[in-house]
A and B are shown apart, each in its own frame.
Chain A
Amino acid sequence: MSHRHDRLALLPEQVTLPPGHPWRRLGPIGAAVGAVGIVASAALGTSDPERFFFSWLVSFLFFWSLALGAFYFVLIHWAMQGGWGVVVRRIAEHVMATIPVLALLFVPVLFGMERLYPWAVPGAAAKDHLLHWKEPFLNVPFFVGRAAIYFACWSVLAWVWTRGSLSLDATGSRATAARLKRFSGPGVIVLALTQTFAAFDWIMSLEPHWYSTIFGVYVFAGSLVSGVALIALLAVLLERAGPLSDVFGAEHRHDLGKLLFAFTVFWAYIAFCQFFLIWYANIPEETVWYKVRLEGSWKAVSVLLVLGHFVVPFFYFMGRTVKRKATALAAGAVWMLLMHFLDIRWLVLPALHGAGAGFSVLDATTFLAIGGCFAGVVGWRMRRCALVPLRDPRLPESLSYESA
């Protein structure tokens, strides 16, 4: 039986972007778009710095949650020794590899702390007894230090799993695969704790009087939905573009669709739990957060989220045919990404007093800025290596997979 381990299930040429392929330009184009976005945002930001920082934070959090969602996909896939997902795992690895660049893109947030976070304003703690109480945690040095720790953890973990996967391409070493599996469990725990506290720091403390123990889980649920949606979208696009057409098919689409369905329901469950318990107990220090989001222009957004992020996708992804067809799945994935972006805005922007739910040009420029850099990294990595983990031990199983 040992000969089976030496034989490659696929030839590298089948699953690499050939020279001259349009997707090879994703890297440079992304970087260019990013650069333009950064310049435009900076220019517009000088006249409305508050909006600049909020828009930047929204866009940053959107792409950050995509990266973490992909990260969970990869780690949980290793931990559960999943078979079917091997074919798309490399795509997820490319997405999670954007984390070090996201660390750099986080820096503007640090410069905008005083405008974003009420507790970061000098002298705020002296005037507000709650901010005074939270000062040991909510203070600038500790906040910055924590952010450094989060990004350090994520960068190290991402490096281990992406490098490990690439080395498997070359060697097919069972020891490497075993190591990647063994540490994936602790990896998920580190990821969960750091993401929870990042959510507390970066999002929850925008309104520092408010708190919710499920908040970390809520952000986690959103990143799962959006991460899988992005992976599904990229996989379908790459299948259409050629490189993945031999390996990615209806069976894999079906399972990605099932995951999207399940994670959408999970998100809705967590979102409802948080809303419902706060609504029911009706304690003002908690309800204030929802009050803003259920009045004025934000009310429409809330309704849209319920319908668009839950009700419509629930029925859409329920059927068998939709999950299997490439265009239908891709359309659903794009929709979920849009809804997730709306979710992030709904979490963050109400803290900007008097802003309302309307869009501003800065929303677009900051999205291009961060999204461009994100796409640049993903595109650059796609050029460099095979789009499928070539010697992964479970690749043959993934290739011949049949969804129930």
Chain B
Amino acid sequence: MASIQDKALYDPVDGRPTLILGAPDFHAVTEAVARPIEQKTPAGWWFFFLPSVALLGLLGVAVAWLFWEGIGIWGLNVPVGWAWDITNFVFWVGIGHAGTLISAILFLFRQKWRTSINRAAEAMTIFAVMCALIFPGIHVGRVWVAYWMFPLPNQMGMWPNFRSPLLWDVFAVSIYGTVSVLFWYVGLIPDLATFRDRAKTRLRRLAYGIFAMGWRGSNRHWQHYEVAYLILAGLATPLVLSVHSIVSMDFAVSQLPGWHTTIFPPYFVAGAIFSGFAMVVTLMVICRHAFRMEHIITIRHFDYMAKIMLVTGTMVGYAYAIEFFIAWYSGNPYELFAFQNRAFGPYAWAYWTMITCNVVSPQIFWFERARKSIPLLFLLSIVINIGMWFERFVIIVSSLHRDFLPSAWSYFRPTVWDVSCLLGSFGLFFTMFCLFVRFVPMVATAEVKAILPQADPHHEVRPERAGTAAGTAPAGEGAY
């Protein structure tokens, strides 16, 4: 296996890299993806699942206590009316965006390497959006009138305020969740049919069969399916851009120094993709090893993901630099103070954590060996997510805690309930993800098959090549 891996790492000058190693045939791909679902539950799965469920329980307790006692159990005060709650919201929405990018945007760019990871990434998106939606839901205070957020005719004749970015969030994030589920499900239909046809027990056949909708691989169906998939990808792309732009507008439409700045929408989108890819890397490092899919989710996939993290991290760095420059250039003393306060005020520790994690650490990905080192990728993916959490925290709290009126200045400290809600949200996320990998094919089987060299109807099988990684120029031609 190792030698095939090494050979495939070279990018032949006039060919394209091998994406799936070991030259599997179609059936081998089906078998590889089916194994985690059809085997007995491995012990390692319980090792992740049980603690996740425990944390999920913690979330339940924290939210129940929050509803009972009120927002005061968190560390919020005046003037810091938003802290961990909205940080967590933006954090989770951001993570979700990478899944849509991999599914939709890489599809539009015809990047075939996405097929190994898009199913898991889309699932990650759905679960991240679920976690994200919790926070605006629970932070409203009077949860029992949460339905006021929706334009439902009522006897008071009252309507939600469509001019508020908080309401745009409601629409944007819930529509994002809906479209993500639709996109994920549409992609799943052919794979569910695969599992329906393989099912050994009546229950499995029924369960997979119902959701497979009777899919029978008809090319007349594939035609409409491909069009629908392309359109969904084309819709999901601006959706991703718009959702995190709208989330950024929660801050940018205000008049607060440090919040009101025009670059926020694209800056937040770049940051979201950055943190999302980091989470995909974290999950894929674990999954590919646990389910022995190193030949489908290869080092090359991580190489590409690391490059995307490098690009988006650089965009985030650019935004930091421009914000800093314009804060000075503007001549606005409040704007300048906001930035000086971030770097040298009471939250400087958070600010420099953010800079180290987001700007400094990803620079190592300029080096190819770093991009292809699994331990380093895993470590850095966690560091980057920590940094991105701190970025949202710094933006929110540093602008709030230094109010226009110095007598209102304060310092925010989280309480145990703030921490519980954050940890609990990770519990929800990992619980859902564990269930996903256990019951749903975590690789888009049909799509992976479609990118194998032998899927091309004009592919000729050359007998002397039968032993090498199929379909590419031989290795050793030199990297380019």
Contacts and interface: CB of A to CB of B under 8 A. Distances in A.
Is there a direct interface between A and B, measured as CB atoms under 8 Å apart in the complex?
A: yes
A258 B403 CA distance: 47
Question: How many A residues are at the interface, by size bracket?
Answer: 35 or more
A2 B329 CA distance: 56
Considering residues B249, B253, B254, which has the most beta carbons from chain A within 10 angstroms of its beta carbon? B253
Contacts of B480: 174, 177-178, 181, 393
B478 interface: yes
Contacts of A214: 262-263, 265-266
B255 interface: yes
Nearest to B269: A269
B331 A130 contact: yes
Interface string B255-289: 10000111111100000000000000000000000
A280 B255 CA distance: 9
Interface string A262-286: 0001000110011011101101010
A396 B329 CA distance: 50
| Chain B CB within 10 Å, residue with most, of A1, A5, A196 | A1
A4 to B, nearest CB: 6
B13 A177 contact: yes
A46 interface: no
Nearest to B472: A1
B474 A273 contact: no
Given A192-B318, A273-B262, A278-B262, A213 B326 contact: yes
Contacts of A105: none
B266 A216 contact: no
Interface in A161-208: 174, 177-178, 181, 185, 189, 192-193, 196, 200
Contacts, number: 94
Contacts of A278: 262
A146 interface: no
Contacts of A193: 318, 321
B13 A213 contact: no
Nearest to B163: A280
B260 A277 contact: yes
A277 B330 contact: no
A134 B253 contact: no
A211 interface: yes
Contact of B262 (A130, A137, A277): A277
Contacts of B329: 134, 137, 200, 211
A2 B477 contact: yes
Contacts of A215: 262
Interface string A1-17: 11011000000000000
B473 A283 contact: no
A394 interface: yes
B322 A277 contact: no
Contacts of A29: none
Contacts of A322: none
B266 A280 contact: no
Contacts of A274: 262
A104 interface: no
Nearest to A178: B480
B253 A213 contact: no
A281 B253 contact: yes
B241 interface: yes
Given A1-B473, A211-B326, A393-B480, A277 B249 contact: yes
A247 interface: no
Contacts of B321: 193
B271 to A, nearest CB: 14
B346 interface: no
Contacts of B318: 192-193, 196
Interface in A229-270: 265, 269-270
B379 to A, nearest CB: 23
Interface in B232-265: 238, 241, 245, 249, 252-255, 260-265
B464 interface: no
B314 A217 contact: no
B13 A393 contact: yes
Nearest to A258: B108
A130 B333 CA distance: 11
A210 B174 CA distance: 37
B266 A270 contact: yes
A133 interface: yes
Interface in B295-342: 310-311, 314, 318-319, 321-323, 326, 329-332
Nearest to B326: A213
A397 interface: yes
B447 to A, nearest CB: 14
B263 A5 contact: no
B266 A1 contact: no
B478 A174 contact: yes
Contacts of A133: 331
Contact of A283 (B245, B252, B255): B255
B203 interface: no
Given A134-B329, A281-B254, A404-B110, A212 B14 contact: no
B14 A397 contact: yes
B245 to A, nearest CB: 7
Interface in B1-52: 11-14
B13 A5 contact: yes
Contact of A1 (B310, B319, B474): B474
A347 B11 CA distance: 45
Given A211-B330, A213-B322, A213-B323, A174 B263 contact: no
B466 interface: no
Nearest to B264: A277
Nearest to A395: B14
Contact of A217 (B110, B238, B263): B263
B405 interface: no
A193 B238 CA distance: 26
Interface string B202-213: 000000000000
Interface in A370-404: 393-394, 396-397, 404
A281 B165 CA distance: 12
Given A213-B261, A404-B110, A189 B314 contact: yes
A271 to B, nearest CB: 11
Contacts of B230: 404
B454 to A, nearest CB: 19
Interface in B389-433: none
Contacts of B311: 185
A280 B262 contact: no
B231 to A, nearest CB: 11
13 contacts: A1-B474, A133-B331, A174-B13, A193-B318, A196-B322, A213-B326, A214-B262, A214-B265, A269-B241, A269-B266, A274-B262, A285-B332, A393-B13
Closest 6 CB pairs of A and B: A213-B263, A214-B262, A133-B331, A280-B253, A214-B263, A393-B13
Interface of B: 11-14, 110, 230, 238, 241, 245, 249, 252-255, 260-266, 310-311, 314, 318-319, 321-323, 326, 329-332, 366, 473-474, 477-480
Given A185-B310, A212-B326, A281-B255, 15 more contacts: A5-B13, A129-B331, A137-B329, A174-B480, A178-B480, A192-B318, A211-B326, A212-B263, A213-B261, A216-B322, A277-B264, A277-B265, A278-B262, A394-B14, A404-B230
